[in-house]
Amino acid sequence: MTPPRTGEPAAVLWDLDGTLVDSGDYHWRSWRDTLTAEGVALTYQQFLDSFGQRNDRILAGWLGATGSPSAIRRIGDAKEALYREFARNEGLVALPGAVRWVRTLHQAGWLQAIASSAPRANVEVMLEAVGIATYFDAIVAAEDVSIGKPDPQVFLTAAARLGVPPSRCIVVEDAAAGIEAARAGGMPSIGVSATTTLPADVFVRSLDDIQDDAFERLVR
């Protein structure tokens, strides 16, 4: 692992759900059960199409005319509370390569941040569950931005908190909306997905497949 060049700070901005932590099933079940209680039938494909977006954007599309701001907030809060219940009771697993890369980058002197569409309470539960919280220099969650991905605000906010220019920040994402946000923010990206192909600067099926010099090459 090559450290960033002396005098030129560089950072890695990590998405969390689906990128570092295997949490998709908990999100599906919590959305499905919460919306069923509201009399709304949700298909698995609708869920997949929404992954990586903020709850207000997701629910506005699913609820349509019945999606008042208060209803969106109430349903979103209920879903996230159920998600955290699943996570605490059933546990979470870091995806292959996640812990190794976060630790390796930290040891090599890279700054790192979580840049997530999830509420901060979710982020804290996930990081604690997989034991990687100490490796991050900043956390940007849903409460910290007004517009979600594919808008670049979450990544630009993370870069600003780290004090690193966007061009020296590498985004690691598992969703198309996140890759689009990285590009809009002027940041190189690594896409990781076992199920779809993402238009990132570097694309891999697993974090374990990232080459040792990939991060340095992207900010060179």
Question: How far apart are the C-alpha atoms of 70 and 66, rounded to whole Å?
Answer: 10
Instruction: Tell me the β-bridge partners of 94.
Output: 21
Cis peptide upstream of residue 96 (ω within 30 degrees of 0) = no
Edge-first strand order for the sheet with 189-192 is 138-140, 111-115, 11-14, 169-173, 189-192, 202-204
Of 98, 109, 100, 96, nearest in space to 168 by CA: 109
As given in the structure block, the two tokens for residue 98 are 């996640």
- In sign, the C-alpha dihedral spanning 137, 139, 83, 125 is positive
Residues belonging to the active site = 15, 17
Please return the burial class of 37, using the count of CB atoms within 10 Å of its CB with bins 0-12, 13-18 and 19+.
exposed
As given in the structure block, the two tokens for residue 99 are 């812990």
